[in-house]
Amino acid sequence: MVFILDDLVYTLTIKPWVFMMEIIYRHSLKEMYPLDKINDALKEDRLLYEFGELTTKEYKARKKGLMAKLEMAKKVSQMDLAPKLDILGIGG
């Protein structure tokens, strides 16, 4: 009986907040690592370097940072960003 009450209290009070936080977290990751903007920044830096507006040292430093962001953006884009709706409370 106690376990049923615990599950009921969890399902009615805590679980909706966890669900909302998962949605916010997933969308914030998607906003933080936009693939198209990172690719555009890489192209822009390459053009600035070719036109001589960036030194080799500056270009390499910026490229290194952008490549790290690009790697993370690719991982985020491969994540399942749809929230896991578990109506029956059976799953995790």
pLDDT, one tens digit per residue, over 7-60 is 777 777 888 888 888 888 888 888 888 999 999 999 999 999 999 999 999 999
Q: For 41, phi and psi rounded to 5 degrees?
A: -65, -40
Q: Which of 82, 47, 46 is closest to 63 using CA atoms?
A: 46
pTM assigned to the model: 0.63
In angstroms, the CA 88 to CA 62 distance is 48
Q: Residue 63's pLDDT is what?
A: 97
Distance CA(25)–CA(37), nearest Å, equals: 20
Locate 76 and state its tokens.
């985020």
Greater confidence (57 vs 92) lies with 57
